[in-house]
Amino acid sequence: MSIFQGLSAFPITPADPSGRVDTAAVARLIARIAQAGVDSIGLLGSTGAYAFLTRQERRRTVESALEAAGGEIPVIVGVGAITTIEAVALAQDAKAAGADGLLLAPMSYTPLFEEEVFEHFATVAKAGNLPLCIYNNPSTTRFAFSRALISRLSKVENIVAVKMPLPSDEDFASELTSLRSTTGPGFKVGYSGDWGCPSSLLAGGDTWYSVVAGLMPSQALTLARAAQDGDALTVQRMDEAFKPLWALFKEFGSFRVMYMIAQILDLCVVDPPHPVLPLSDAARHRIVIALDHIDACNFDV
Amino acid sequence: MSIFQGLSAFPITPADPSGRVDTAAVARLIARIAQAGVDSIGLLGSTGAYAFLTRQERRRTVESALEAAGGEIPVIVGVGAITTIEAVALAQDAKAAGADGLLLAPMSYTPLFEEEVFEHFATVAKAGNLPLCIYNNPSTTRFAFSRALISRLSKVENIVAVKMPLPSDEDFASELTSLRSTTGPGFKVGYSGDWGCPSSLLAGGDTWYSVVAGLMPSQALTLARAAQDGDALTVQRMDEAFKPLWALFKEFGSFRVMYMIAQILDLCVVDPPHPVLPLSDAARHRIVIALDHIDACNFDV
């Protein structure tokens, strides 16, 4: 099985206000995810605050996570950076530490042209020399990959998967057919945006790149497995349980909500990196209710 | 006179492929701008590649620029960064080096809320303790300042100016009236987007934050002074001379075009930082023609 398949869990990366990562807390979060039996860990994704951390702290994070994962679960490392030279260094750091795969977003300041993104990805994929997933997330990077560019990148050595945003028309089936027709059989197509991902799995998507699974891996896995089994009724029932949380993800951004969930679940007490501010007590109250709503659904049935 | 008034010239920051800044080249560009007699230098703006450079290289750039400027012209330093802690450090570095003012963009990865931008700006303005201009550039930062937020920020100590994007309806007069009605008399309102800025000065805007002036300060100054004098006919004639260049700025992004202009004018031969790619020979040819078109206009009349 490809490492870019099934449920991939994206934890937060707890750090102090100076930007120093709490590697003991990272190890706790990773061990918990590995124990739940999800299919991979998406370390240092957008949820993992990669864009806010220095190269040194990202290296410390990768090393502690790999040790905690203990080889039981593939660890995919986000290596996005504004310059190509930095992304190459991060990819080489991840490879040297023993990571299983890479996730690369076209992070940028100056809006990039397609050819620039192509060259950037080809350079990092070659230097990293690990299976690499294209991180297509226009809401944080402002770069939307065309079908033609994904197709072209899928022919580059080491580039084997794409993480897509939810299609605006929610028509996963035709998007999957269209993407697969130009990328070849081994190329994996997955989605992020938790509220739409169970549907993407039901429609035959390869991967759910999941924010919520970073802190609630068991519940997300139950939902993911039902979707992979094609059990639409169970998916619908469980998705109802998650709905209040999805609404909060949309309202506040899942990044901010995750820091609060970590506190509520007593996993770690850290704030997001400034300028991102911690959510208010009122928001916390609503998140507690949303988590209770999930608990009230019997996920073992 | 405020340092945020008149023509502000934004040079590129020449660096080698490893990201090391060529401080001798920086000094040459700065001395040339100072000699032309423009009103300020916008160092390490978007054009100055601030987002691509490390804190250490940004410090080296500031130090060499201040030495080259020799106190003859105010130097305003861009201190944008993804984290508040980094922006604070950059502002303190600029202050320690002797900079005259700061320019702060709400650079971000996670899209920011208004309150987060407010707190970020207030924190940096306090720590930097220099006159600060709000860098409102949604095309690179994706954050558009509301009128209410600009008004609120204008009441914060040290925040004394805003650099606006061109209004979509090109109605500078009503935007200036509206902005000034809520920001107080000392607050300066200027624009960037070279193709619209002469009109903004004619309409009474305080500042032209100019990319082209970073490499062609004399010609830009002649145009700016005509606009400040209210000489609409001369502005129109000179603007015609710049039109082919403005079209290339829009097509390729002024950032890429500036590196090519620096080569054509024999000022320095460096490429933009990857992933941004150098423009093609075909583009270079069109830029040469655009520069000839400017030369053909007698700017001394």
Each residue's pLDDT tens digit in chain B (301 positions)?
899 999 999 999 999 999 999 999 999 999 999 999 999 999 999 999 999 999 999 999 999 999 999 999 999 999 999 999 999 999 999 999 999 999 999 999 999 999 999 999 999 999 999 999 999 999 888 899 999 999 999 999 999 999 999 999 999 999 999 999 999 789 999 999 999 999 999 999 999 999 999 999 999 999 999 999 999 999 999 999 999 999 999 999 999 999 999 999 999 999 999 999 999 999 999 999 999 999 988 765 4
Find the range with the poorest average confidence among A40-44, A88-92, B185-189. B185-189
* Smallest CA–CA distance from B273 into chain A, residue: A83
Query: A199 with A173: CB under 8 angstroms?
Result: no
The Cα-based distances of A242 to A144, A216, A247, A248, B91 in angstroms read 28, 11, 9, 10, 43
Other CB atoms closer than 10 Å to residue A32's CB: what's the count? 19
Q: What angle do CA B172, B173, B179 make, to 5 degrees?
A: 85
Domain boundary assignment for chain A: 6-229
C-alpha torsion sign, points A163, A168, A171, A177: negative
Task: Residue A94: name the closest of A119, A117, A120, A62 by CA.
Answer: A62
Residue B4: its H or E element: none
A255 — contact with chain B (CB < 8 Å)? yes
B163 noted as active-site residue:
yes
Interface-testing mutation among A118, A274, A280, with chain B (most B C-beta atoms within 10 A): A274
Q: How many CB pairs under 8 A join A and B?
A: 96
Q: Do B253 and A110 touch (CB under 8 A)?
A: yes
Residue B278: is the preceding peptide bond cis (ω within 30°)?
no
How does residue A152 score in pLDDT terms, banded at 50, 70 and 90? very high
Cα-Cα-Cα-Cα dihedral sign, residues A29, A35, A37, A41: positive
Supply the DSSP symbol for B73. S
Q: Residues of A5-17 as b/e, b for ≥16 C-beta within 10 angstroms?
A: bbbbbbbbbbbee
A126 is catalytic: no
Sequential DSSP letters for B84-148: HHHHHHHHHHHHHHT-SEEEE----SSPPPHHHHHHHHHHHHHHH-S-EEEE--HHHH--PPPHH
Q: Do A112 and B85 touch (CB under 8 A)?
A: no
Numbered residues of the known binding site of B for pyruvate: 47
Round to the nearest angstrom and report the end-to-end CA distance of chain B: 27
Cβ-based burial of B18 (10 A; exposed 0-12, middle 13-18, buried ≥19): exposed
0.90 surpassed by complex ipTM:
yes
Q: What is the pLDDT of residue B300?
A: 59
**Closest approach of chain A CAs to the CA of B283, in angstroms?**
15
State the nearest Cα–Cα gap between B299 and chain A, in angstroms.
32
- Looking at domain A6-229, its CATH class is alpha beta
| The pair of three-digit structure tokens given for residue B48, joined into one six-digit string | 């100055």
Residues 181-240 of A with CB under 8 A from B: none
